[in-house]
Homo-oligomer: A and B are copies of this chain.
């Protein structure tokens, strides 16, 4: 495999310049940020970019309805209807409880997968019934959000720990490049629901929503990307009429 084939771009103006080559294919990347920071737009734009180039892309959400998401994409001029019709973009919203409870269709036992006395054989079970829902093996997945999944495990931290480990291995096994959105405070210091997921992930991208006097500025940083050299700085980001733009030479923090 040629070096250029081992990396993917995001298609986000300015952002790809933060990497030497790009994001290593099949990486699991956490995208962390506060409410209103533009995490979903950021990830959706990556999918639109790749779907328009003929790659199968899958958006798995727990928050906004499919209709609303499509509306937002239209506002940015990304032609979602065309991408969906072409079969390259699939958008689906779930209920968090669908993750947690018995998966009737597939006959498997997700709840068993999360019990303490777990059988090593259960390891083979897929933590997300992906195949049924999509009908294709996606090259790119966005999961909006990992925090929504983790919230269904309240009071069952040990089960969640085992679950999340298998979730990352599952993405690894199917070979998709995956973006996992996590919901943090406006200036994230811990980048994932329990602080453990950020170590399991191959990459961590943090979006900051910084107050400067009476103005709020958005900034982005590649905090970690395994197997790839990247710039170690925090740079300006903006959500414009055409989508997200990153300014790799513009600073945000005054000190």
Contact = CB atoms under 8 A, between A and B. Distances in A.
- For this chain, the copies found in one complex come to 6
B234 A216 contact: yes
A35 B190 CA distance: 10
Interface in A199-251: 199-202, 204, 209, 211, 213-219, 221, 223-227, 229, 232-235, 239, 241, 251
Interface in A145-181: 145, 147-148, 151-155, 157-158, 161-162, 165-166, 172
Interface band, chain A: 35 or more
A54 to B, nearest CB: 27
Q: Considering residues A62, A117, A209, A213, which has the most beta carbons from chain B within 10 angstroms of its beta carbon?
A: A213
Interface string A107-130: 000000000011010010000000
A198 interface: yes
B35 A213 contact: no
A191 B183 CA distance: 13
Contacts of A218: 232
